[in-house]
Chain A
Amino acid sequence: MPRVHDRGGWPTDEPIDRSEHQIMDWELRVSAIRQVLGQKGLLRSDELRRGIESIEPSRYEALGYYERWTESIESIIVEKGVLTRKEIDQKMADLEAQSR
């Protein structure tokens, strides 16, 4: 059984969906954060990929591309001690509160 990301040749009759979604601002931001962290030696693409590949398989299939990136970047920088999960959760809550 190949792992969920190892996708070549998986049986599917689905045609390729060629519609494009409008890229969202947060998708641009997360992609840029990844680049900047990479330039600073805090996140290698190999680590980003390992993080993506570690997402539980059914979630991997359900999440969008940059959603997987977000989860992976977060887990890698938490693992490295750059940020803690607790402070990210706290910041989330603060931003939610501010927006109400």
Chain B
Amino acid sequence: MASSVGGPKFRRGDRVRVLSLDVKGHVRTPWYIQGKTGVIERSHGPYLNPESLAYGGSGLPAQPLYLVRFNQLEVWEGYTGPGDDRVLADVFEHWLEPA
């Protein structure tokens, strides 16, 4: 964990949409959740930003990191499992907006 400016914007249970940011470099937001809506499952606290660290940067300001939960049926067209199945991924705050 790292220190960050301000507290986390989202709390457990908040609905969020994952942005599709056009970042060319190193990112940690997999393609399959971009544009999808999920629910904050857990707030991990602030972490240095990998998009900056990957290029020798300081990673500051640190970004709050969240575990976000998605319904499999909403992520994958034709998901064959039951409707309660979930996929969860860690997403940095600057990739999220309220939904």
Contacts and interface: CB of A to CB of B under 8 A. Distances in A.
Q: Do A and B interact with each other, yes or no?
A: yes
A46 B31 contact: no
Contacts of B32: 2, 8-9
A49 B26 contact: yes
B30 A46 contact: no
A91 to B, nearest CB: 25
B53 interface: yes
A44 B31 contact: no
Contacts, number: 31
Interface in B17-60: 25-26, 30-32, 50, 53-56, 59
A27 to B, nearest CB: 24
B76 A44 contact: no
B76 A50 contact: no
Q: Tell me which of B30, B54, B56 has the highest count of chain A C-beta atoms within 10 A of its own C-beta.
A: B54
A8 B30 CA distance: 7
A50 B25 contact: yes
Interface of B: 25-26, 30-32, 50, 53-56, 59, 76
Interface of A: 2-3, 6, 8-9, 44, 46-47, 49-50, 53, 80
